[in-house]
């Protein structure tokens, strides 16, 4: 299950124990839509749908590929950072920051797509986390933050004037809030209006240990006053911040936010919210300090409404294409794969010069479905050359993989550990063999088990027999801004051209 509930009338946090980082949520009619960041996993910026704020399904990807050649290879930690979604005059707008390239906008009349090509409204370095706002008087604005790693600023929020059609910014913006002593880091602004006040919801203090701040002003361009409205307090939820305010048709207010769960990524919580003296109150003030704290459970916001297509990590590769759950480590290319009576992965040489999984754009991954899960597949190596291999992996700054490798005209099972020693956009990785053994034949069933402590255990089997564990447990690690991710791969580990490929019969998960 993707969520737990105390009873039929309550929900339990986290409502979505998956790495949907930097969420933004809106309501259109009786439907709720959520987008999140995806960095350089592509296609990017997933769009989820719900009818009750608890059960979610994925409708589309807003960004099929990134429009720069650098993303043809992995650029870990770059790409699409915290997006925002708004609905205005019959059209969905998703604002997407690329911290090294600028602010981009994609639009659609149907959330299932097609989405427009990304349009750059500001070419810049270091602007992040944009949020558009359309006022009743016809004027439009965009709030945004800054990336310290790109421009040396991390504690300031600016607001720009924007053309009403969101095609361009009309000025360079004005600083509306900066107080590094109280809020040393500010990011992820979301702009709203209520009863004559303009509000900017701003996470502050950093991802792992921060808090939620709200700015308030009578003018969209400030000056703004600030109030901390949500923090960890006596709860066990670290860093409760960065999310979105959403209101049900009945007028009840709720706040979505993430929690940094380390190797498991950024998981989503839902807090009840109300208003007191013109300020939002989130969660519950357990320690009496006037600041809300996350709740463990709460009465359901709406009657449960199961989606038609719940979030599902399984894929039987029955075609005509991959399921929505999959992402590559770089801009997708059709020549990497074919879905036809299974998934066939080809083995192009890696342009980085070494065929290491961290360097390969054609590693096929997805968001982990839970803190504990198993993943199984059966694969066949077809044709090919020495060095061809394929298997299962869990990717991150420490990663591991179990593969079937062709070597010297024979086959071997190989357990590999990888370590990213330089965690930059280009990255530097090393791989070592942790265990290997001979295997008879070119078809094998593989299995990995991911435990809540972040350890991964691998096993293999002749199809139809009981799996056998191979080698030691391997530690997983988060990646740059994302959790550890399970996946499939095929490569020539010698990085030689090959006619080989691997056929997978499916990807099956147990939770």
Answer left, alpha or beta for residue 264, where phi above 0 means left and psi between -120 and 50 means alpha: alpha
Q: Please give the Cα distance from 189 to 203 (Å, whole number).
A: 7
Task: Give every CB contact of residue 277 below 8 A, 6+ residues apart in sequence.
Answer: none
Host H or E run for residue 279: strand 279-282
- Sign for the CA dihedral angle at 290, 296, 298, 303 comes to positive
163 φ, ψ (degrees, to nearest 5): -65, 145
- Count other Cβ atoms within 10 Å, centred on residue 202: 27
Burial of 308 (0-12, 13-18, 19+ CB in 10 A): exposed
Q: Among the options 187, 293, 389, 477, which is catalytic?
A: 187
Q: Among the options 22, 24, 129, 260, which is catalytic?
A: 22
Tokens 């009619």 found at: 29
Which two tokens mark 263? 């190797």
17 included as an active-site residue: no
Strand partners, 226: 215
CA neighbor of 105 nearest in space, from 90, 95, 117, 115: 95
293 included as an active-site residue: no
Please work out, in degrees rounded to the nearest 5, the angle formed at the alpha carbon of residue 472 by the alpha carbons of 467 and 478. 105
Q: Is 455 helix (H, G, I), strand (E, B) or coil?
A: strand
Which two tokens mark 265? 């990524």
Put the strands of the sheet holding 211-217 in their side by side order. 190-194, 197-204, 211-217, 225-230
- Report how many helices (DSSP H) and strands (DSSP E) the chain contains, helices first: 1, 37
Would you name the residues annotated as active-site residues?
A: 22, 187
């Amino acid at each position: 299950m993707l969520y737990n509930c105390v009873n039929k009338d309550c929900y339990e946090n986290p409502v979505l124990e998956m790495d949907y980082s930097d969420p933004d949520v809106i309501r259109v009619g009786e439907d709720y839509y959520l987008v999140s960041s995806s960095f350089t996993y592509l296609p990017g910026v997933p769009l989820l749908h719900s009818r009750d704020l608890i059960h979610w399904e994925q409708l589309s990807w807003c960004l099929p590929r990134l429009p720069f050649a650098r993303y043809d290879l992995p650029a870990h930690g770059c790409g699409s950072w915290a997006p925002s979604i708004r609905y205005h005059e019959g059209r969905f707008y998703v604002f997407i920051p690329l911290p090294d390239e600028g602010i981009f906008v994609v639009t659609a009349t149907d959330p299932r797509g097609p989405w427009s090509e990304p349009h750059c409204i500001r070419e810049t370095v270091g602007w992040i986390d944009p949020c558009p706002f359309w006022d009743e008087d016809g004027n439009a604005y965009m709030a945004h933050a800054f990336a310290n790693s790109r421009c040396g600023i991390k504690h300031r929020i600016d607001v720009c004037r924007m053309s009403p059609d969101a095609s361009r910014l009309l000025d360079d913006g004005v600083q509306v809030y900066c107080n590094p002593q109280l809020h040393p880091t500010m990011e992820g602004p979301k702009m709203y209006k209520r009863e004559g006040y303009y509000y900017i919801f701003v996470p502050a203090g950093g991802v792992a240990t921060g808090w939620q701040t709200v700015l308030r002003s009578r003018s969209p361009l400030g000056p703004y006053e600030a109030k901390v409205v949500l923090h960890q307090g006596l709860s066990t939820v670290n860093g409760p911040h960065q999310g979105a305010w959403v209101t049900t048709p009945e007028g009840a207010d709720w706040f979505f936010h993430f929690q940094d769960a380390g190797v498991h990524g950024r998981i989503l919580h839902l807090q009840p919210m109300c208003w007191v003296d013109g300020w939002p109150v989130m969660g519950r003030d357990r320690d009496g300090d006037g600041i809300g704290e996350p709740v463990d459970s709460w009465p359901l916001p709406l009657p449960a409404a199961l989606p038609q297509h719940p979030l599902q990590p399984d894929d039987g590769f029955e075609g005509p294409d991959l399921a929505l759950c999959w992402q590559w480590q770089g801009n997708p290319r059709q020549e990497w794969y074919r879905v036809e009576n299974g998934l066939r992965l080809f083995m192009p040489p890696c342009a980085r010069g070494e065929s290491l999984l961290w360097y390969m754009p054609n590693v096929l991954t997805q968001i982990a479905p839970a803190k504990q899960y198993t993943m199984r597949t059966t694969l066949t190596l077809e044709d090919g050359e020495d060095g061809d291999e394929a298997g299962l992996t869990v990717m991150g700054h420490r990663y591991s993989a179990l593969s079937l490798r062709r070597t010297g005209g024979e086959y071997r099972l190989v357990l590999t550990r990888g370590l990213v020693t330089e965690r930059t956009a280009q990255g530097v990785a090393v791989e070592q063999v942790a265990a290997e053994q001979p295997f008879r034949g070119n078809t094998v069933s593989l299995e990995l088990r991911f435990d809540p402590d972040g350890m991964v255990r691998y096993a293999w089997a002749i199809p139809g027999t009981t799996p056998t564990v191979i080698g030691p447990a391997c530690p997983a690690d988060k990646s740059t801004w994302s959790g550890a991710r399970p996946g499939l791969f095929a490569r020539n580990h010698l990085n030689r051209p090959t006619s080989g490929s691997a056929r997978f019969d499916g990807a099956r998960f147990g939770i």
